A and B are shown apart, each in its own frame.
Chain A
Amino acid sequence: MQRWIEIKTVFVKEMTEIMRNTRILIAAFAFPLLIFPIVFGGMSWLQDLDRGQMEQTGIRVMLPSYNQDIEDFITENLDIPVQFFHTEEISKSIINDEADIGIVMDMQKAPERNLWLYYTASRNTSMHARQKIQQLFSENRFEWINKFLKYDISEFDDSRFVPLTIDFSDVASDRERSGHRVAKILPFVLIMILVSGCSFAAVDLIAGEKERGCFETLLVSPVQRTNVIIGKMSIVVFSALIGLISNMVSLFITAKLGFFDLTGEQTFEFIIGIETIAVIFLCSLPMTVLFASLLMFISAGAKSYQSGQTLLMPFTFLAMIPAVTAILPGMRSDSILVLIPVANIVLVMRELLEGTLKIWPLLVGNLINVLAASGVVILTVRGLNREGSLVPGSSTDSDRMLKDFRNDPVKVVFIGFIVVWLGMFYVMAPLQADNLILGLLLTLWGLIFCAGLIMVKIQNLSFRKTLSLNNPGWSGWLGAVIFQTGFLPVILFFNHLLTNLLPLPDQWLEHFSDALMPDVSTFGLLMLMAVSPGITEEILFRGAILGSLRKKWSMTPVILVSGIMFGLLHFSVYRLFGATMIGFALAWMVYASGSIYPAIVAHILNNALALVVIPELGLQDVNEYWLLLGIPLVILGGYLLSFRTAKRDLKRSAVNASNIGESDHGGGSI
């Protein structure tokens, strides 16, 4: 019995210590919870971007000669734009990127009614076209029997009743195909080597030296701090590159010696040539500088080597998202991915190995990475030049801030937001998938509304003041209605412009219209989709979050941060822009009117109008006239909203001239 008591005592003590260690909590709890939503969310977002772009561009089909049956069939049934070209040399045209897919079908010779699809596995567009065409013909295999009959008048045998069979011919060269196999994993491994190479050195040179007190002695020497930082950054880069070179050399030698034959086609040795290694090395340089400076910056947040390692772990996993996305089947550098650091370099390495690399993704990708690396280097040098960033003990102010959660509104808001976000993702999203109405009600009232109230309660703040539960006066109520009536068309217009850049996938549109729930009455729909979100989301975002943040920050950052959080909670890249803009406007309304009620009215109105306007008119009808209609209303509404606070400020300034300007920061709390 005594043993168990002792074990329990030790357990409770350790548990108490662990629960007070923010870093362990992040590493052991928050990070494992966040990793999948972030990794899969990030990956699917990147894939969506790519897919959206392809669906807009359409596909190019090559046929040996004009064939009305096939061309009409594809044009009528395929939901994306199709262009047809004709040549006898189908394979060559695919290799030369003159078409995405080649279709050959000899319909007159029974029984060989095969549909031959020529494609190349080394091009994303070709793989996409293959998938589309294959699906189309597979679904209509039997329909083609009728079409064959037209050609088979002279002969009569059973073969004409045989449905269409589909065969494939990959025109990618051996080099492309074998490179394809190697390229599936190698770039990812190299990126991980760079990240781990940088992280070990960064954590030792920054967090480790901080712990050992070496920084203090170094920084009291006449050497300039910036030079110390750049000197250290160079060695972090160097050590990561040494790791990369060692890895490449080992790969090269192993390939030369023929220890392995990944491809079965003896072309591996050819792929990993000196030129390939040189290009990979050069492309890795900006990436390494980016990793090195970022990791150094992060490690400066740790006091010891060990806590530095804990801090860097999540970053290592974050770097995996673009890297993993870029090695997914079908991802190519001729897409938007070339603009994303890490993903672009993995794609370039991958295509280099496959032998399909074009010059412009190489240049654009590297240019982007050089710019990103320069930006991060500047930020890191500036950040580490700040007093207290490298010498332990001098950052007492920030250390102590960690100790008092309740008194730090920013921390309450950020942690609260993460909890709500996780709750939405893990609990509410599955619930909504199961039962939409119940799920929505629970999300809005059970999670969002309660989170808002808890945030205020936990800080021991006044509900009335923090949530701005003040009467906005007639001008506030009216202003909200006029403002939002004008703001929605403006947002829809810009959203429409954005949709051209970032096409909505069909799947998403379908999902959205499903969510409108045809079996619910209009009143129910309005209560569920307009009134409930209007009240609950406003209490959280424009009430608790805005009310807490403005204790610490001025108006602009509060509006920006609360607006972005509002956007992020909408869980979709396509709704991010609109929701964030509306978030900014609603937050401004609270400042302008000194009350949350106009924001609630505007939010309800916005959702109600969106429920009616979007399904009735559709986004395709949005044009410049919407702007002309919206902007005057926004101006008038804005004037009315700030009418009362402006008047009050005038009165106040007449009483005490020194109070002028306060309304900017505290208008809403009075």
Chain B
Amino acid sequence: MINVYELSRVFYDPQRGQINAVNRLSFTAEKGQILGLLGPNGAGKTTTLRILATLLDPTSGHATLNGFDVVKEPEKVRASLGFLSSTTGLYPRLTPEETLRFFGQINGMEKMQLKQRIDELITEFGITEYARVRCEKLSSGMKQKVSIARALVQYPPVLVFDEPTVGLDVIAAAQTMKTILEYKKRGKCIIYSTHIMSEVEKLCDRIAIIHKGSLQALGSMEDLRKQTGKRYLEDIFFSLMETDHDSVQNDMLM
């Protein structure tokens, strides 16, 4: 469903010169699977996801999503994609119901079908009580629920979650992860980007560890264990990071 091949993105910074935010990154993600993108802050996770979501162009390399090229067919890519960023991105003065209707409409859904879909999502996510309350008045957990429902409104085959649990309490974070697992079971292809190890261990079928824009390791938990000889993901992660001692300091500058 997702094919990323030798993807690179360069930014220019007068202080530090050329920055390779994403450097020849290659990976694939399949239907009914969750691929975890794990990396420290500034590793290039968000840039990669933004390229997949057609918000940024790659400097070189290719990426396809649901068979569509992200550069050549951006509209088809976006129609296949449910995208959730770390900010909920909800319109504060719209209600959840209005939000879902708006995103259904701009995805070209028909009126009757959309109405049915909105009811479905409202029931599924347990937001019936708040369906007609302005989003600005909802709690963080509730906002995230609305936000996930919003990303799912047009039945997208691919879902991209960029640090979806940032700022959520333990209960809300657990609920979010539960929902994501549920959609994996329904056959969606999911990319889950985070820097929280426990979430990756719980959710992901395959893990891509990224550092300084480059892929450090890719595979299932078992594969990574074999590769590094470490048992826990945290140890695996640090053993891969150790190759570059000043990495932490550099990342703080990003």
Please choose the segment from B29-37, B78-86, B217-225, B242-250 that sits at the chain A interface, where 4 or more of its residues have CB less than 8 A away: B78-86
Q: Which residues A390-406 have CB closer than 8 A to chain B?
A: 391, 393-394, 396-397, 400-401, 403-404
Question: Known contacts A222-B75, A222-B78: does B92 contact A397 (CB below 8 Å)?
Answer: no
Q: Kindly list chain B residues whose C-beta atoms are within 8 Å of the C-beta of A212.
A: 87, 89-92
| Contact A396–B11 (Cβ < 8 Å) | yes
Q: Which residues B200-228 have CB closer than 8 A to chain A?
A: none
B57 lies within 8 A of chain A by Cβ: yes
Please choose the segment from A213-221, A358-366, A630-638 that sits at the chain B interface, where 4 or more of its residues have CB less than 8 A away: A213-221
Q: Kindly list chain B residues whose C-beta atoms are within 8 Å of the C-beta of A216.
A: 55, 83, 85, 87, 89
| Contact B56–A404 (Cβ < 8 Å) | no
Q: Which residues B39-82 have CB closer than 8 A to chain A?
A: 46, 50, 53-57, 75-76, 78-79, 81
Contact of A387 among B12, B57, B87, B151 (CB under 8 A): B57
B145 lies within 8 A of chain A by Cβ: no
A55 lies within 8 A of chain B by Cβ: no
A282 lies within 8 A of chain B by Cβ: no
| Contact B46–A403 (Cβ < 8 Å) | no
Report the minimal beta-carbon distance from A478 to chain B, rounded to whole angstroms. Answer: 41
B103 lies within 8 A of chain A by Cβ: yes
A649 lies within 8 A of chain B by Cβ: no
Q: Kindly list chain B residues whose C-beta atoms are within 8 Å of the C-beta of A396.
A: 11, 13
A556 lies within 8 A of chain B by Cβ: no
Q: Kindly list chain A residues whose C-beta atoms are within 8 Å of the C-beta of B11.
A: 396-397
B15 lies within 8 A of chain A by Cβ: yes
| Contact B50–A407 (Cβ < 8 Å) | no
Q: Kindly list chain B residues whose C-beta atoms are within 8 Å of the C-beta of A213.
A: 85, 87-89
Q: Kindly list chain A residues whose C-beta atoms are within 8 Å of the C-beta of B55.
A: 216, 219-220, 387, 391, 394
| Contact A407–B106 (Cβ < 8 Å) | no
Look across to chain A and name the residue whose beta carbon is closest to the beta carbon of B104. Answer: A221
Look across to chain A and name the residue whose beta carbon is closest to the beta carbon of B153. Answer: A221
Question: Known contacts A214-B91, A396-B11: does B53 contact A220 (CB below 8 Å)?
Answer: yes
Report the minimal beta-carbon distance from B117 to chain A, rounded to whole angstroms. Answer: 15
Q: Which residues B1-39 have CB closer than 8 A to chain A?
A: 11-15
Look across to chain A and name the residue whose beta carbon is closest to the beta carbon of B93. Answer: A204
A217 and B87 alpha carbons, distance in the complex (Å): 9
Q: Mark A371-393, 1 if CB is under 8 A from B, else 0.
A: 00000000000000001100101
B229 lies within 8 A of chain A by Cβ: no
B198 lies within 8 A of chain A by Cβ: no
Q: Kindly list chain B residues whose C-beta atoms are within 8 Å of the C-beta of A65.
A: none
Q: Kindly list chain A residues whose C-beta atoms are within 8 Å of the C-beta of B89.
A: 212-218
Look across to chain A and name the residue whose beta carbon is closest to the beta carbon of B76. Answer: A222
Q: Kindly list chain B residues whose C-beta atoms are within 8 Å of the C-beta of A215.
A: 89
Look across to chain A and name the residue whose beta carbon is closest to the beta carbon of B10. Answer: A397
A391 and B56 alpha carbons, distance in the complex (Å): 10
| Contact B14–A401 (Cβ < 8 Å) | yes
| Contact B106–A222 (Cβ < 8 Å) | yes
B108 lies within 8 A of chain A by Cβ: yes
| Contact B56–A394 (Cβ < 8 Å) | yes
A388 and B57 alpha carbons, distance in the complex (Å): 10
B residues with a Cβ closer than 8 A to A are 11-15, 46, 50, 53-57, 75-76, 78-79, 81, 83, 85, 87-92, 103, 106-108, 147, 150-151
List, sorted by A's number, 14 A–B pairs whose CB atoms are closer than 8 Å: A216-B85, A216-B89, A217-B103, A219-B55, A220-B81, A220-B83, A222-B78, A387-B56, A387-B57, A391-B55, A397-B11, A397-B12, A401-B14, A403-B15
Q: Beyond A217-B151, A220-B81: 10 further Cβ-contacts under 8 Å?
A: A212-B87, A213-B87, A215-B89, A221-B103, A224-B75, A393-B46, A397-B11, A401-B14, A404-B14, A408-B14
